[in-house]
Amino acid sequence: MSDADGPEKPVDATPPEELSDTQDSETERAAQEIPPSIPLRVQNLEKHFGGITAVDGASFEVESGSLTGLIGPNGAGKSTTFNCITGVHEPDGGTVTFQGEDITGRSPPEIATRGLVRTFQIARELEEMTVLENMMLAPQDQIGEKLYNAVLPGLRDDVIEQEIELREAVWEMLELFEIDHLAEEEAGNLSGGQRKLLELARALMVDPEMLLLDEPFAGVNPTLEEKLLDRIHDLTEQGYTFLLVEHDMDLIMENCEHVIVMHQGTVLAEGTPAEIKDDDRVVEAYLGGEV
């Protein structure tokens, strides 16, 4: 590491005058000023796909322990924002700060290890495994086997005890989500709603601080939607923070305490559901877009 011939930064590399107040130092300062009550801050986020601007300078914050909704008409840039936050896409501009740390451009496993976790659709190869097996694999799956072993250093020393603990945690989670009766069922045989419950239960296996869900109610019947919403509300009360990405405005209005509205890649409005409902720009954006 301390090899004198290595590609180390030259000591006398004084930056030119005009670079002394770079955007980097500005964002660093901004990150340091973020209070713990704001776990997630997105600043001037930008993402382009060829000639298409999907996210065009979006900025917002999420408060700790809140159930915050990110809504907007189709094509508003919600999923791209979600993917930039969770490391699936590298943004072309702006910063994502989680718990005071700049996580912009980090990989999804690195971000998950820090406690910011998204749900994943059950992958094809996991469809042939049982619900129980899916849950047992969830931590390695989400933060990667290598990081998983680093996060749980006891694993190598005491494999059996760790396995028993993991099994207990899995059963507790299955009971909490009322899918314990499906433990031996192949994941591929679950209904759309049961899958969504399993996806959220899997995400919780890495003990996150904050969860991001992108349209978790798509294709879910009303009974299971209710169950999923109940679990999300319970978890919020326990102190988990949620960012719920959704295009169904009514669902968000009824369930979130804070709502962020995106339109054409930027934040158009934000506030309480009542404030958003009365905002003419929001109504217009929804009427103009294909909802």
Q: Taking CB under 6 A as the rule, does residue 289 contact ligand ADP?
A: no
Nearer to ligand ADP, 147 or 276 (CB): 276
Q: Taking CB under 6 A as the rule, does residue 86 contact ligand ADP?
A: no
Candidate segments 21-29, 77-85, 90-98, 223-231, binder of ligand ADP by CB under 6 A: 77-85
Nearer to ligand ADP, 68 or 113 (CB): 68
Partner that binds at residue 49, options Mg ion, ligand ADP, none, CB closer than 5 to 8 Å by kind: ligand ADP
Q: Taking CB under 6 A as the rule, does residue 77 contact ligand ADP?
A: yes
What is the distance between the alpha carbons of residues 281 and 212, in angstroms, rounded to a whole number? Answer: 26
What is the distance between the alpha carbons of residues 163 and 226, in angstroms, rounded to a whole number? Answer: 32
HSE-CB of 174 using CA atoms within 13 angstroms: 21
Nearer to ligand ADP, 16 or 50 (CB): 50
Which residue among 79, 86, 113, 266 contacts Mg ion (CB under 5 A)? 79
Candidate segments 38-46, 58-66, 69-77, 104-112, binder of ligand ADP by CB under 6 A: 69-77
Rg of the Cα atoms in the chain: 21
Candidate segments 4-12, 29-37, 46-54, 178-186, binder of ligand ADP by CB under 6 A: 46-54
Nearer to Mg ion, 113 or 266 (CB): 266
Partner that binds at residue 76, options ligand ADP, Mg ion, none, CB closer than 5 to 8 Å by kind: ligand ADP
113 to 152, contacts with ligand ADP by CB under 6 A? Answer: none
Minimum gap (Å) between residue 278 Cβ and ligand ADP: 22
Nearer to Mg ion, 79 or 236 (CB): 79
Nearer to ligand ADP, 22 or 121 (CB): 121
Contacting positions for ligand ADP (CB under 6 A): 49, 52, 54, 72, 74-80
Binding site for Mg ion (CB under 5 A): 78-79
